[in-house]
Structure 1
Amino acid sequence: MKIKVKAYAKINLMLDIVAQRKDGYHDLFMIMQSVGLYDTVTVEKIKGKKITLSCDEEGIPLNEKNIAYKAADAFFKANNIKDTGIHIDIKKRIPHAAGLAGGSADGAGVIVALNQMYNTNLSNKELCQIGVKIGADIPFCICGGTLLAQGIGEVLNPVKPLRKCFILLAKPKTGVNTGNAFKAFDENGKVHTPDKLGMLYAMQSRDLEQICSKMENVFEQFIEVPERVYIKEIMHSNGALGTCMSGSGPTVFGIFLNKEDAEKSSEELKNYAKDIHICTPVSKGCKIENE
């Protein structure tokens, strides 16, 4: 038996760090949006009890360090399943270490596939309870669409979906260390707090221009991405309603009303960005393609 899942990337329309927690994590306020860029995760039953992995991208661990492996292991343990022989194949399209939840999307895809494969019939809430033990973004990647995420990312509430638009993703060559970014917040605090209430009003009214004017990511106050300024300038000069960094970066995204403007911007960005994609909002985190 084989199940194939489209596991969608996410962007953060807003990301605020609310407080440091006693357990070392941070309380967050995030407006998260699934986008049409996806990895393809295929799960197949095999003989034996081993979890094996393959991936078409070099540098991705193919052992218990991979989030997809951890997600499968957690699913089996949560459901007391002994027949654990599966092979997970991942076709990567979401850039690695980009702030787009590529690893979490793969983990979510595995959990969704296994729920179908083993007929466990768990609700999204129950799947999220398994996923959050592996990664804070996995619950969102299981549910997807347009959601307000709080706590460490596991407390999810729906907000109205984005209107039709085109989202240009541009990942610079500069890398980002998320741990150092959180450490900078812990040591220095933040310079500016995003207008969370204003963003919620804009989301509920589905006013795209107002949403774009409220987009903000506090990580931009702590993380130095030299290309970010140029990427944003190019996007704005080509008609982007708004720009923002996603997650802990370094990917910057712009929201456009017209695909032609996004395409023109993408051409001009080639000197500044390693991975460039144009996509649209989607209403789910994972989509089963076949059984």
Structure 2
Amino acid sequence: MKSITVLAPAKLNLTLDITGVEPNGYHTLDMMMQTVNLYERVTLHKSETLRLKLPGSTVPANDNNTAVKAALAFFDYTGLLAGVDIVVRKSVPVRAGMAGGSADAAAVLVGLNELYGARLSQDELCSLGLKIGADVPFSILGGTARVRGIGDQITPMPNCPRCWFTVCMPQGGISTPQAYARYDVLGTDVRPNNDLAQKALFDGDLDALCAQMSNALEFSSQSPENKPIEAILRDCGALAALMTGSGAAVFGVFRDEKKAQAARAELKKHYPQSWVLHPVPRGAHSLGIK
């Protein structure tokens, strides 16, 4: 029982609305979130020290990395005098709005809990995760959920109706703090109705869900690629097309996998990072201890 591997999925924001600003400057949100089958693969080895490797990635392996922050938070909370060697094999693009860093943190918390037999509850793991990032609790839980507040109020929803997502990542990423700062100046006239989106999920109505899919941050992201990518997706038959999170990734929703694949083929003429993904019903999960 020396090592464990955890898969942690990326997420898409099916809706995103901003409902206010806390005194500390954090924005409160109301959004429908969905995990998808693009995974970070995180392997944890018992150790006496704390080290991080990200083979093939340009992401810095330093103390600011969410995986390191998660490990430090776990050991501080449990009081365990132990360490871990972390190897993160990244698949989720950086600065995409797909929660790759949050998925890494979630994988570390879930993995260390099992590797060291700490028996922390899911609520405890989510509380630790929230200190690292607003998307970490959802990355732990996964599935389809309505997420409110600062990411701390998570209500599981029925599974997303059967569909495929064609996801496209343009060359340039988006800074989340800058996107929110621009929102504070520019505002938005985009307001998804999450009550109707929730009803659509309970009814299993993909068309009604897609009718509510919008993102209050899309205008303030100021990404020049949003509209061209969305236009291609719609021309290929997407039921909805929008940015996820604070960007820069954009996705379209398709009822038919062949149409989703055709959209990906068209996008790849201009944008090499494109995928066809589908909803998955859980967040970070272990592949077992070795």
Same structural fold, with TM-score higher than 0.5 when normalized by the shorter chain: yes
Alignment pair present for 1:28 and 2:26: no
- Counterpart of 1:57? 56
SS across alignment from 1:170: strand
Partner Cα separation in structure 1 for residue 99 and residue 278 of structure 2: 16
Mapped contact 1:37–1:279 kept (Cα < 8 A): yes
Aligned residues of 2:94 and 2:173 also touching (Cα < 8 A): no
Q: Given that residues 10 and 39 in structure 2 are in contact (C-alpha distance below 8 angstroms), is that contact kept between their aligned partners in structure 1?
A: yes
Partner of 1:116: 114
| Counterpart code for 1:55 | L
Task: Quote the offset at 1:166 in angstroms.
Answer: 1.1
SS at match of 1:132: helix
Distance 1:57 1:96, change over 3 A: farther
Alpha-carbon distance between aligned partners in 2 of 1:109 and 1:15, rounded to the nearest angstrom = 24
Counterpart position of 1:43: 44
Aligned equivalents of 1:109, 1:91: Cα separation in 2: 12
Say yes or no: does 1:170 pair with 2:168: yes
Structure 2 residue 144 is the aligned partner of structure 1 residue 143? no
- What secondary structure does 1:87 align onto? strand
Alignment of 1:234-249 (within 5 A): 234-249=232-247
Q: CA deviation digits over 1:238-279, x for unaligned, max 9?
A: 221111110000100111122111111111112442411111
**Which range moved further: 3-12 or 56-65?**
56-65
Aligned residue for 1:16? 17
Name the residue aligned to 2:78: 79
**What code does the residue aligned with 2:129 have?**
G
Residue identity in the other structure for 1:170: C
How far off its partner does 1:11 sit? 0.3
One-letter code of the match for 1:12?
A: N
1:206 equivalenced with 2:207 (yes/no): no
Residue 5 of structure 1 corresponds to 6
1:193 to 191, 194, 197: 191
The CA distance in 1 between the partners of 2:27 and 2:252, in whole Å, is 27
Counterpart amino acid of 2:26?
Y
2: distance between equivalents of 1:173 and 1:271?
Answer: 13
* Equivalent residue in structure 1 for 2:265, among 264, 267, 271: 267
Residue 96 of structure 1 and its aligned partner are, at CA, apart by 1.1
CA distance in 2, matches of 1:175, 1:133: 24
**Tell me, which stretches of 5 or more residues in structure 1 are unaligned?**
none
CA contact (8 A) 1:227 1:272 kept: no
- What's the offset of the Cα at 1:58? 3.2
* SS of match in other structure, 2:151: coil
| Secondary structure, counterpart of 1:222 in structure 2 | helix
Which one-letter code corresponds to 2:136 in the other structure? I
Whether 1:152 aligns to 2:153 is: no
SS state of the match for residue 45, structure 2?
strand
Counterpart CA distance in 2 for 1:221 and 1:131 is 29
The CA deviation string for residues 76-119 of structure 1, in whole angstroms up to 9 with x for no partner, is 10111112x21000111111111000000000000000010111
Q: Using the alignment, how far apart are the partners of 1:182 and 1:72 within structure 2? A: 28
The aligned counterpart of 2:250 is 252
For 1:78 and 1:91, the matched residues in 2 are separated by 26
Letter in 1 for 2:85: H
Q: Any conservation in 2 of the 1:230–1:272 contact (CA below 8 Å)?
A: no
What fraction of aligned residue pairs are identical, expressed as a percent?
A: 38
Q: What's the offset of the Cα at 1:236?
A: 1.4
Opposite residue 59 of structure 2, the aligned amino acid is: I
User: What residue identity is the alignment partner of 1:70?
Assistant: K
Unaligned 5+ segments in structure 2 are none
1:52 CA displacement: 0.3
Match of 1:184 among 182, 185, 195: 182
Do the aligned residues in 1 keep the contact of 2:57 with 2:90 (CA within 8 Å)?
no
**Residues of 2 paired with 1:169 and 1:40: CA distance?**
19
- 8 Å Cα contact 2:187-2:220 kept in structure 1: no
Which of 226, 229, 232 is the equivalent residue of 1:231? 229
- Tell me: CA distance 1:123–1:213, structure 2 relative to 1, closer, same or farther (3 Å): same
Cα distance in 1, alignment partners of residues 69 and 220 from structure 2:
30
